[in-house]
């Protein structure tokens, strides 16, 4: 199954008060495996950048001033995400900004039925634990040392790794190994089947005796006899 893990950076917290999306990063995964395909874009928000928001992601109004408007790049973004599920951390926030931008340029919003929220998944799997992206990366041993500031593509890459772990980890896929074997044989259309190892053939060897010898039993009895007040006698 194809899914898109994505993240956004914005001018603030609420598109209803005039905040805009200024960056989006998307990572394609298929059967919970990153394919190497991604989408990344900066957008000119046509407004100022509040100091608080710039401190989070480092994107200034000057840097964004020569970037395309969202409406000029919307078609490329929509082509990349297709009709597949969209995975985000605190997904309602990112969906809100993405759909606001689509509505501003007269396009149909993305159906929220496609939304997969990793915060909700993490809360169900780790009740009471910290649920930030940083905290989940620490929990799953995901290296985020290169994350100095928030960045949409970098955060989407980290979230993709977290999402795989939330879905059960990389060992979930015996079927993934089978799919890989199928693709190597050139058959990418038929479902893969696992090959079971054949039972060994040849002469059957009789099992070796495992009973203790008389000498071993005597040494054991001597050892036990030296114990003071053993628990099994209470």
Fold of 2-169: Nucleotidyltransferase; domain 5 (3.30.420)
Please tell me whether the overall predicted TM-score, pTM, comes out greater than 0.85 for this model. no
CB 159 within 8 A of CB 38: no
Is 220 in the active site?
A: no
Rounded to an integer, what distance in angstroms lies between the CA atom of residue 132 and that of residue 119?
8
Instruction: List binding-site positions for substrate.
Output: 7, 9, 57, 155
As a whole number of angstroms, the longest Cα–Cα distance in the chain is 91
Name the residue ranges covered by the structural domains of the chain. 2-169
Instruction: List binding-site positions.
Output: 7, 9, 57, 155
Task: Tell me the sheet residues that pair with 195.
Answer: none
Rounded to an integer, what distance in angstroms lies between the CA atom of residue 225 and that of residue 117?
63
Digit-by-digit pLDDT tens for the chain (234 residues) are 999 999 999 999 999 999 999 999 999 999 999 999 999 999 999 999 999 999 999 999 999 999 999 999 999 999 999 999 999 999 999 999 999 999 999 999 999 999 999 999 999 999 999 999 999 999 999 998 877 678 899 999 999 999 999 999 765 444 454 444 444 444 444 444 444 455 556 666 676 666 778 888 888 888 878 888 777 666
Rounded to an integer, what distance in angstroms lies between the CA atom of residue 97 and that of residue 101?
6
Distance set, CA 87 to CA 45, 64, 117, 187, 233 (Å): 24, 26, 6, 29, 60
Instruction: List binding-site positions for a divalent metal cation.
Output: 7, 9, 155
List the catalytic residue out of 40, 126, 146, 150: 150
């Amino acid at each position: 199954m194809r899914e898109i893990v994505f993240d956004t950076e914005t001018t603030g917290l609420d598109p209803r008060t005039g905040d805009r999306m200024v960056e989006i990063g998307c990572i394609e995964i298929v059967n919970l495996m990153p394919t190497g395909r991604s989408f990344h874009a900066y957008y000119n928000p046509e407004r100022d950048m509040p100091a608080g928001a710039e401190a989070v992601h480092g994107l200034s109004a000057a840097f964004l001033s020569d970037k395309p408007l969202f409406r000029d790049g919307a078609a490329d973004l929509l082509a990349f995400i297709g009709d597949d599920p969209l995975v985000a951390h605190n997904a309602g926030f990112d969906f809100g900004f993405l759909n606001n931008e689509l509505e501003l340029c007269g396009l149909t919003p993305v159906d929220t039925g496609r939304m997969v929220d990793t915060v909700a998944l993490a809360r169900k799997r780790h009740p009471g634990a910290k649920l930030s992206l940083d905290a989940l990366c620490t929990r799953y041993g995901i290296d985020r040392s290169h994350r100095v500031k928030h960045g949409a593509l970098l955060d989407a890459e980290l979230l993709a790794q977290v999402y795989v772990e939330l879905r059960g980890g990389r060992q979930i896929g015996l079927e993934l190994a089978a799919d890989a074997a199928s693709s190597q044989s050139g058959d990418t259309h038929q479902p893969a089947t696992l090959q079971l190892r054949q039972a060994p053939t040849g002469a059957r060897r009789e099992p070796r005796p495992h009973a203790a010898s008389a000498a071993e039993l005597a040494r054991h009895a001597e050892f036990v006899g030296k114990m003071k007040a053993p628990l099994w006698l209470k």
